Amino acid sequence: MMHILAVDDDPVILDLLRGSLTEEKNYKLTCAASAEDALDIVREAPRLFDCFLVDIMLPGVDGIEMCEMIRACAAYRSTPILMMTASREAGLMQRAFFAGATDYISKPLEGVELGARINSAGLLNASLLREREAQHTLGELTALVKVRFEEAFKLDVPGMSNLLQMENHLLRLQTGCYAMNLFSIEAQGMKAAHANVSAPAFRNAIEQLAEITLDSLNGFAAHVAYVGSGRFLGLTIGRRRLDLNKLRRDMTEDLKRNWDEETSQMPTPPKVRIGSVGNQRYWSGMSASEKLRESSIKAAPFEESVEEEESNLFAKFENYVDSRD
């Protein structure tokens, strides 16, 4: 059944809609005489509406303003909104479409046209629902599939780049040399984590590292990308030098304070190793891009002592799990 909210200050129009959009025709109609009343209904409704019928010339908050308010709600970004109008003013409908209206119905309402427009809205809404469900399913599958340890998967972290975005930024710089700091951050223990924790937990651990990296670089014009294998590459542009030892200390303290052992399934945060990429201070956009790409491909593996430390980390993890059972 299609749930419709109709908004019009003319009781004759609302009566006509009640007579046309009946439950026998698979419609459930809710009516309001003003935008203010309609918005209260939307806020308190136990379920989302499938379609809105809104008079464009409402008193107080008009139909166009109401349309903007509906579109501002994330749950109704794509829901069909049909404007009802007796006006033939082209500019008025243009404003309505800019506000997010899907279609319009001319007054006086005619039964055949009304049914056709409502049916079209229903088909559109069903299509949007299928699309949202497909996107939701795809997102869940993506989160559940365990990627290869070496894969540079996309992180859901605001401000985080990928290597291609960093390269594009560098290659768009004007010709010349710039003071830059190119650096690499390696999280120790992540190879063992990848083998022992769930796919969502590993992703969460990498995203925690990304957030803490960005927080520790606050104040710098920094770009950071995850390149797989528990490694991040980054750069800062500007005369201000990046103290890598301080960055490591700041990240270590932040990891100790804020590490979420539940979502990462790791009882202790990883240690980080930070080093410069290249020894020079000044780079062209092209040379910096090439150096970062080279570093992403030729990353040195962790030494044996680190592998041993990874094993010790997950011995602690197993003891931690046992202690909670």
Do the domains 2-143 and 163-324 sit in the same CATH topology, yes or no? Answer: no
CATH class of 163-324: alpha beta
Q: Report d(CA 108, CA 5) in Å as an integer.
A: 19
Comparison of pLDDT for 216 and 316, the residue scoring more: 216
**Does the structure show a pLDDT above 80 at 311?**
no
- Mean residue pLDDT of the chain comes to 83
Residue 189 is classified by DSSP as T
Mean pLDDT of the 72-94 span = 83
When mean pLDDT is compared across 119-123, 135-139, 219-223, 259-263, the lowest value belongs to 135-139
Residue type at 283? W
Q: At what angle do helices 244-258 and 199-216 cross, to 10 degrees?
A: 130
pLDDT score, position 104: 85
Comparison of pLDDT for 161 and 42, the residue scoring more: 42
Domain ranges of the chain: 2-143, 163-324
When mean pLDDT is compared across 91-105, 134-148, 185-199, 304-318, the lowest value belongs to 304-318
pLDDT score, position 88: 75
pLDDT digits (tens, 9 = 90+) for 23-69: 988 899 999 999 999 999 999 999 999 899 999 999 999 999 999 99
**Does the structure show a pLDDT above 50 at 295?**
yes
Q: pTM here?
A: 0.52
pLDDT digits (tens, 9 = 90+) for 88-121: 776 788 888 888 888 888 888 877 678 777 777 7
Give the DSSP letter string of 154-171: ----TT-B-HHHHHHHHH
Give the homologous superfamily in CATH for domain 2-143: Response regulator (3.40.50.2300)
CA atoms within 13 A on the CB side of 153: 22
Among 317, 217, 195, CA closest to 274 = 217
Q: Report d(CA 40, CA 35) in Å as an integer.
A: 9
